[in-house]
Amino acid sequence: MARWLALPWPNDATVTLFGLARACATSSAMLVAANDGCATTIIGEATRAAVDSLVGQLVAVAPGIPETKVAIKALVADVAGAEVIINLGSSGGVKVGAEYEVTRPGREVRDPATGRVLRRITTRVGTLKITSADEQSATGTMTGGPAMVGDCVGACPGGN
């Protein structure tokens, strides 16, 4: 099985590494291949040691890298038992496997002087885990209370 990796090289050239087992270098590129005997050269040994070190470092810190969660503002469009369809899909940042809080909008608290909405009172309904998504909508499985059409997923659109 072959793996390719491009690395920067002096004079804006690109280094192409093949296989990640052995390395040879020329003035413009470095080739890593499994059966060419280059691992015994100084550059081959150095490349292998650098790759091994980098892989070890990445493995060590990977569990500590926080998951990036995209904040969404969507509404429940359809409910069939525990299956819920929302009105936002992959083009809005929804990803398969992501989990979002589902809330039910309640009353609006308005500023008596201006009439502007100060906040919306919501009730937590449960959690929606996305199982599939296209560009404009997504489907997920609901845990917690039953969802209703119009419930908010993530934050309520147009609301506080």
CATH code of the domain containing 97: 2.40.10.410
Same domain, 92 and 42: no
Instruction: Please give the tally of structural domains in the chain.
Output: 2
Same domain, 88 and 133: yes
Rounded to two decimals, the pTM is 0.58
Sequential DSSP letters for 90-159: GGGT--TT-EEEEEEEEEEEE-TTT--EEEEEEEEEEEEEEEEE-SS-EEEEEEESPP-TT-EEEBPTT-
Same domain, 84 and 144: yes
Residue 117 within a domain: yes
| Each residue's pLDDT tens digit, 23-49 | 444 433 344 444 455 667 788 788 888
- Among the residue ranges 35-39, 50-54, 91-95, 150-154, the one predicted with the least confidence is 35-39
| Each residue's pLDDT tens digit, 114-140 | 999 898 899 999 999 999 999 999 999
